[in-house]
Structure 1
Amino acid sequence: MAAELGVETHVLRHWESVGALTVRRDGNGYRVYDDRALEQARTVLRLRRVGLSLPEVTAAMAPTKAAAQGVVRAKIAALEEEIAHRRQAVTFLRHTAECRHRYLDDCPECAAFVHGA
């Protein structure tokens, strides 16, 4: 299953240890990665790839839809805030690339950005 997902086996064991992945055990205690576990692992991987931490993944996979939606909505808000900050950074960098002033403090626009105005 690790090879199919493109992750190391220790990653699967870690996901299991933190409760993000539930894996059935056979009579000898060996892990059984059935279709349900594979689909659950794919979901964990997708959620990790979009930026959720393992605790957020675990919460997003909660049995109640309302609890899962709350985690996802909170992540959306955090990502939107990050996007806004990055857009501000791009705007600032574009200005500084074209700014006629030698030093940031000599330019009112640059100084305002640097000082948080």
Structure 2
Amino acid sequence: MRTIGEAAAELGTEPHVLRHWEQVGALSVRRDGNGYRVFDDGALEQARTVLKLRGVGLSLPEVIAAMAPVKSQAQAVVAGKIAALENEVVARQQAITFLRHTVDCRHRYLDECPDCAMFVREP
């Protein structure tokens, strides 16, 4: 059993973050007889899961949905995030391609280059 301060230190976060997660429903923590939060191994594991999901880009509402007891709901959220990340990878790769071209472009001004103009017109 750990206090909120001990749990936060172990997780590498701040106590107010754990309080917020509990407040919005991303974390369930039991209370002792005096009303203090008590972090057992299960609560710590749940917090680690929230940390990991936040670390891979899920918002708190997405984290809550991804941890839903109904597997199909959780899978839908995760699948949606995968699609968004894949789209982001494609967009970043297109940006790299464009920037690499601009570095090597023989034209003094990018607007004089037909290839640059092609990149600019792409969505």
Q: TM-score range by the shorter chain?
A: over 0.9
Matches of 2:110 and 2:84, distance apart in 1: 29
TM-score of the superposed pair, with normalisation by structure 1: 0.96
Q: CA deviation at 1:31?
A: 0.5
Equivalence for 1:11? 17
Does residue 116 (structure 1) correspond to residue 122 (structure 2)? The answer is: yes
Equivalence for 1:92? 98
For 1:50, which of 52, 56, 59 is the aligned residue? 56
**Aligned residue identity for 2:18:** L
**Aligned residue identity for 1:41:** A
Q: CA deviation at 1:112?
A: 1.5
Q: CA deviation at 1:103?
A: 1.1
Q: What is the aligned length?
A: 117
Moved over 4 A (4+): none
The residue matched to 1:29 in structure 2 has which SS?
A: coil
Which runs of 5 or more residues in structure 1 are unaligned? none
Which runs of 5 or more residues in structure 2 are unaligned? 1-6
Q: Percent identity?
A: 74
RMSD after superposition? 0.9
Does residue 78 (structure 1) correspond to residue 88 (structure 2)? The answer is: no
Q: CA deviation at 1:116?
A: 2.3
Q: CA deviation at 1:7?
A: 0.3
